[in-house]
Amino acid sequence: MGIAEERREKLSRMRLYVITGDHGGEAETVRTIEGALEGGANVVQLRKKTMPKGEQYTIALALRRLTHIHGALFIVNDHPDIAIAADADGVHLGQDDLPPGVVRDLPGFGGSRPRPPFTRAPITLRSARSIRHRPRKAGSR
């Protein structure tokens, strides 16, 4: 089974999707996510909107290791570069981020490296081939 098929299989068995909060540094975030994974989470999304990207990258590497150990998927919010560098399983792209087609063409998402699934607000995981954009309802965030 290829990586893309393996990721789709994990998504089909998704029970608990955990999104990190904006507060807390590396140690607190890792502790929280480790507990969530031990409690049955099988998808983790790194979402630190106000944290500098260098710190997010450090946390991403730690969370990638944890999710790999627990057989969970790892998604990075908003930053395809961090997703590529941390070998994440996917990236969540919001309304104000790069379009999915542009991200798919970035070095690291094509060629021999499998393309990860993408998410687009509202959170809906799709394979890279079947992604669609669903606009938010007026007034939602």
* Half-sphere exposure (Cβ direction) of 113: Cα atoms closer than 13 Å: 18
Question: Which two three-digit tokens encode residue 137?
Answer: 């309802």
Domains, the chain, ordered by start: 3-126 (3.20.20.70)
- Report the predicted TM-score, pTM, of the whole model to 2 decimal places: 0.72
Question: Which two three-digit tokens encode residue 74?
Answer: 């790892």
* pLDDT in single tens digits along all 141 residues of the chain: 787 788 778 778 878 999 998 999 999 999 999 999 999 999 999 999 999 999 999 999 999 999 999 999 999 999 999 999 999 988 888 888 888 888 877 877 653 444 455 444 433 333 333 333 344 444 544
Question: Which two three-digit tokens encode residue 38?
Answer: 């031990």
Q: Residue 27: count other Cβ atoms within 10 Å of its Cβ.
A: 10
Tell me which residue of 70, 59, 109 sits closest to 89, measured CA to CA: 109
